[in-house]
Amino acid sequence: RKEVEQDPGPFNVPEGATVAFNCTYSNSASQSFFWYRQDCRKEPKLLMSVYSSGNEDGRFTAQLNRASQYISLLIRDSKLSDSATYLCAVNIKEGYQKVTFGTGTKLQVIP
């Protein structure tokens, strides 16, 4: 099993739709979780951290399911500008020094 696994997509959704991605991780001891957004041929940028109780930032909601070892990202009312690749990152090894990134899920929002 990969340390961090994501469905590569692409997820093609119409504007205004709600879409959700999951990211599974292998180490049950992982403690920190993140979603990054990466536009084509650009650098990744932090979208949001994921906290145990779940957290929301505008149209974006992140949740953690420790029992099943996955995090999720929900995007409501999709905009064309949401088209990007979404990378999850998890601290797999003990300690906080390193995070492991998933391969990303590509989202294409269609007019």
Partner 1 sequence: NAGVTQTPKFRILKIGQSMTLQCTQDMNHNYMYWYRQDPGMGLKLIYYSVGAGITDKGEVPNGYNVSRSTTEDFPLRLELAAPSQTSVYFCASSYLTAGVPGNTIYFGEGSWLTVV
Q: Is the Cβ of residue 45 or residue 59 nearer to partner 1 in the bound state?
A: 45
**Interface residue with partner 1, options 87, 105, 107, 109 (CB under 8 A):** 87
Residue type, 107: L
Contact flags string 40-59 toward partner 1, x per CB under 8 A: -xxxxxx--x-x--------
Three-class secondary structure of residue 75 per DSSP: strand
Using alpha carbons, select from 53, 90, 54, 103 the residue that is nearest to residue 74: 54
Using alpha carbons, select from 30, 49, 28 the residue that is nearest to residue 92: 30
Token pair 């990152």 in the structure block, residue: 89
The interface region with partner 1, picked from 14-22, 70-78, 85-93 by CB under 8 A, is 85-93
The interface region with partner 1, picked from 9-17, 39-47, 68-76 by CB under 8 A, is 39-47
**103: Cα within 13 Å, side-chain hemisphere:** 8
Q: Is 62 in the site for partner 1 (CB under 8 A)?
A: no
Binding residues for partner 1, rule: CB under 8 A, are 4, 8, 31-32, 36, 41-46, 49, 51, 87, 89-91, 95-104
